[in-house]
Structure 1
Amino acid sequence: MSYKHINMGCCQKETNSFPKIIAIPGPAPTPNIGVLSYGSIRGDTLEIISPIAAPIPFQQVGPLSNVTVSPSGNELVVQSNGVYQIAISINAQATVEPDPLQSYFTVSITVNGQPIFLEGPAIFNVLNRSSSTYVVQASLSAGDLVGVSASSANPIANYANRSLSIIQLS
């Protein structure tokens, strides 16, 4: 539908008047056909973290559209090329007494088993007794496996609730 502005000839002395807008038939806008990709996986089991970076396991599959889950169940597989938003949320398992040195573990978003970035924004630390969410954007290709890995030099570091989600932006 298109709109046409009609000036009804209001006089100059009238201060509270608005122009009249009349809807006239016209071509309907074309809807954007297609759904962009999205997917999520989550887990809630208690996991102990090793000093060597290891994949974070997930047990539950969330909603999926044009995304699948890898055979291991720990990665999301994109089905089309594009720019994606990748988000990881993870909770450190609280210890009875906080570590005065604020122990932490390191988390990295991975693509095809490798850190998405070798340093910087896709590698972050989760402090003892806290939770963190991290979001990055990256270009991915069809068939790429998106996962998360974690490591810690502290033997008491562990995590419980976590989720990984991806949304195709373009």
Structure 2
Amino acid sequence: MFGKHTCQNCCPNEMKYFPKIVALPGPVVPVPSPDRSVLAYGSLRGDTLGPLSPDPTPVTFQVVGALSNVTVSPSGNELVVQNDGVYQITISINAQATAAPDPDQPFFTVSITVNGQPIFLNGIAVFNVVNRSSSAYVVQATLAAGDLVGASAASDSFVASYANRSLTIVQLSG
């Protein structure tokens, strides 16, 4: 009863080894699944110091990241969507770290832009970045094919500037 168990005792028709693998001739073509692929995405990055002025000025980028169904504008500072849909847009930006921070903690404002205008005109998409800090802002918005997505920044402080930053968009639905 508690003796040595062998498969031949309880399962005489079962094999003691793994089943034989049979190779089929020719390549195996995968069966297409329903369309669950990523619809679109794109990113831009920058790491040089960016100048700020009292008027909103486009945030500059030097590096183009991965792109799919998204292109880059001629200025290199905006992503151009190719399809209508709902997109998630993220801007991440760092303030320049100064050796002697201003006691008033100067800050600058950043806004995600579509076609050069703040994405939400009532200002809810404007956020502040305080000296020696970083910040990220994420919004979802309906965009049309050809829309240019970027960011702008402004500051009244003559010592504030921005450094590392990235802009990404991901299409959530068509």
- What TM bracket, shorter-length normalisation? 0.7 to 0.9
Q: Per-residue CA shift, 1:79-101, capped at 9, x if unaligned?
A: 00000000000000011122221
Match of 1:74 in 2: 77
Percent of matched pairs sharing the same residue: 71
Farther-moved stretch of structure 1 (84-93 vs 112-121)? 112-121
Match for 2:74: what amino acid?
Answer: P
Structure 1 residue ranges without an equivalent (≥5) = 1-27
Q: Per-residue CA shift, 1:6-51, capped at 9, x if unaligned?
A: xxxxxxxxxxxxxxxxxxxxxx994325431000001111112111
Residues 86 and 142 of structure 2 are in contact (CA less than 8 Å); yes or no, is this contact kept in structure 1? yes
Match of 1:35 in 2: 38
Match of 2:113 in 1: 110
Residues 112 and 145 of structure 1 are in contact (CA less than 8 Å); yes or no, is this contact kept in structure 2? yes
Match for 1:166: what amino acid?
Answer: I
Number of aligned residue pairs: 143
Alignment of 1:11-26 (within 5 A): none
Q: Please state how far the C-alpha of 1:121 moved relative to its aligned partner.
A: 3.2
- In the alignment, the residues of structure 1 paired with residue 138 and residue 52 of structure 2 have an alpha-carbon distance, to the nearest angstrom, of 22
Match of 1:90 in 2: 93
Residues 48 and 156 of structure 1 are in contact (CA less than 8 Å); yes or no, is this contact kept in structure 2? no
- The normalised TM-score by structure 1 is 0.80
Match for 2:55: what amino acid?
Answer: I
Residues 77 and 150 of structure 2 are in contact (CA less than 8 Å); yes or no, is this contact kept in structure 1? yes
Structure having the higher strand fraction is 1
Alignment of 1:1-170 (within 5 A): 30-170=33-173
- The normalised TM-score by structure 2 is 0.79
Match of 1:23 in 2: none
Pair member with larger Rg: 2
- In the alignment, the residues of structure 2 paired with residue 29 and residue 75 of structure 1 have an alpha-carbon distance, to the nearest angstrom, of 34
Q: Please state how far the C-alpha of 1:167 moved relative to its aligned partner.
A: 0.2
- In the alignment, the residues of structure 2 paired with residue 133 and residue 126 of structure 1 have an alpha-carbon distance, to the nearest angstrom, of 9
Match for 2:135: what amino acid?
Answer: S
Match of 2:3 in 1: none
Match for 2:44: what amino acid?
Answer: I
Match of 2:4 in 1: none
Q: Please state how far the C-alpha of 1:66 moved relative to its aligned partner.
A: 0.1
